[in-house]
Amino acid sequence: MELASKAIRSESPGPVIVCLDDEHDIASLVQCGSAHARLADRSLFLVFLIVLPPQRPLATLSEEEKQRANTLLDLAADRAAAFGVETTEEIWITRSRSDAVQQMAEEFQASAVIVGWHGAGPFGLFDAGRTLLDAVGCPVIMVGLGTGRRAVSSWPPSWLSESLQETGR
């Protein structure tokens, strides 16, 4: 158990960053991020990523898009508060999800980054995560959100829950 809790600690003083881009991701990602933030004694930075196509100017979000992002960030912050974690929330508009995650990790000196993964099978996870793992200088935790074939209900994993109980967090 000691090994598991040390393995996810980071030397960085920054927050745990949770990247959201879909309402279906919120429960699993915030639960994982909150558990990690409590264990590492860090704050939680919730980011709603909006990836726009090249033909659309970055500064052009509709009121509906802004409202949806703010509503989902509020929901995520409420979930994190239920776990006793302080949060900061922000909307990021970008062309590339990976580039935005890398920039956030560097800019905020992230202690960890939590992202969702919708891939199919272990090779999809490997290909999707390789870019982030190579580019980001802190631990990257990819939470499998399933492919729609089965529910995902494994967060936090039992070793993390047990470690939180042992540390009293």
Domain boundaries of the chain, sorted by first residue: 19-88+96-167
| Measured distance CA(142)–CA(94) in Å, rounded | 20
CA 161 to chain centroid: 18
169 residues of the chain, pLDDT tens digit each: 232 333 455 567 789 999 988 777 788 899 999 998 988 889 999 999 888 888 888 777 889 988 999 999 999 999 999 999 989 999 998 888 888 888 998 999 998 888 887 655 544 444 555 666 667 778 888 887 655 444 445 555 555 556 555 655 5
Q: pTM of the prediction?
A: 0.75
Q: Do 111 and 138 meet the contact criterion of CB atoms below 8 Å apart?
A: yes
CATH of 19-88+96-167, one of 3.40.50.1000, 3.40.50.620, 2.60.40.10, 3.60.110.10: 3.40.50.620
Q: Do 132 and 102 meet the contact criterion of CB atoms below 8 Å apart?
A: yes
The residue count of the chain comes to: 169
Say which residues have a Cβ less than 8 Å from residue 44's Cβ, sequence separation at least 6: 15, 16, 18, 30, 33, 34, 37, 80, 85, 86, 87, 88
Give me the amino acid identity at 85. V
**Which of helix, strand or coil describes residue 59?**
coil
Tokens in use for 92? 């990021």
In eight-state DSSP terms, residue 143 is E
pLDDT at 145: 60
pLDDT at 150: 45
